[in-house]
Amino acid sequence: MPAYTVPEAAHFLGLPASTVRYWSAGRDNYKALITAAEKHPIILSFLNLVELHLLAAIRRKHKVSMPNVRRAIEYLENRFQPEHPLLAKELETDGLDIFIRNYGQLINISQDGQTAMQHVMEAALKRIERDDNNIPIKLYPFTRAQIDDAPSVIMIDPAVSGGRPVIAGTGLATEIIAERYKAGESIHDLAYDYDRTEAEIEEAIRCELQAA
């Protein structure tokens, strides 16, 4: 279901809005990388958000080239899942190896570069929670540039708080915490008020104020 505007999706995932729009709508003769839930105007679904999360993982190592990534994704479309190929459960197993290899060859990166990208993609896949039918139901977005040992404290669940980022296991929206912090309240006081740890409060603030 359509739920997120391009600026909202960009904000939640720490991406430039122009990049999200490019991947979601395409440009000139380049097709979009994902199928937006609504196209005029572009409104994205939760599944689109998860797809963008995975594309962002690629972007962490290499600037995304639309035609090259499209050609690599075609493998997944043909073999696994035409509508949302990046969300195919098989991507977590043999599909990921083939995708990384194809992508690496297309943009001419070394074996070491492909290994590094695989590490990032695996980390991104682990932050997706699926139901018994292998459909993504929760996303734990990256809130830091460093992915190793990055905490999974912030959660996006379409069934909680309207699909806005919250502290995992609660309905406590990160936006509310960040607004109180910007108004001058301390992390210690916010942790006390909400009965959360200071680390959780810090991560909620980091989620909302990544650019700053």
Tokens 């962002």 sit at which residue? 56
Tokens linked to 186:
């301390």
Distances (CA, A) of 83 to 44, 122, 132, 195: 14, 21, 19, 42
Predicted pLDDT at 61: 62
Sheet containing strand 4-5, strands side by side: 4-5, 42-44, 38-39
Eight-state DSSP code of residue 159: T
Q: What angle do CA 91, 14, 102 make, to 5 degrees?
A: 30
The SS3 assignment for 104 reads helix
Q: What is the CATH number of domain 140-212?
A: 1.10.10.10
Question: What per-residue confidence (pLDDT) applies to 150?
Answer: 81
pTM of the model: 0.86
Q: Could you give the CA distance from residue 50 to residue 76 in angstroms, rounded to a whole number? A: 16
Spatial distance between the Cα atoms of 67 and 46, rounded to a whole number of angstroms = 24
Q: What is the pLDDT along the chain (212 residues), one digit of tens a residue?
A: 999 999 999 999 989 999 999 999 988 887 888 999 999 899 999 999 999 999 888 776 666 567 777 777 777 777 776 778 888 877 776 667 767 766 666 555 566 666 777 778 888 999 999 999 989 999 999 988 777 778 899 999 999 999 999 999 999 999 999 999 999 999 999 999 999 999 999 999 998 987 44
What per-residue confidence (pLDDT) applies to 195?
A: 96
Name the amino acid, one letter, at 65.
S
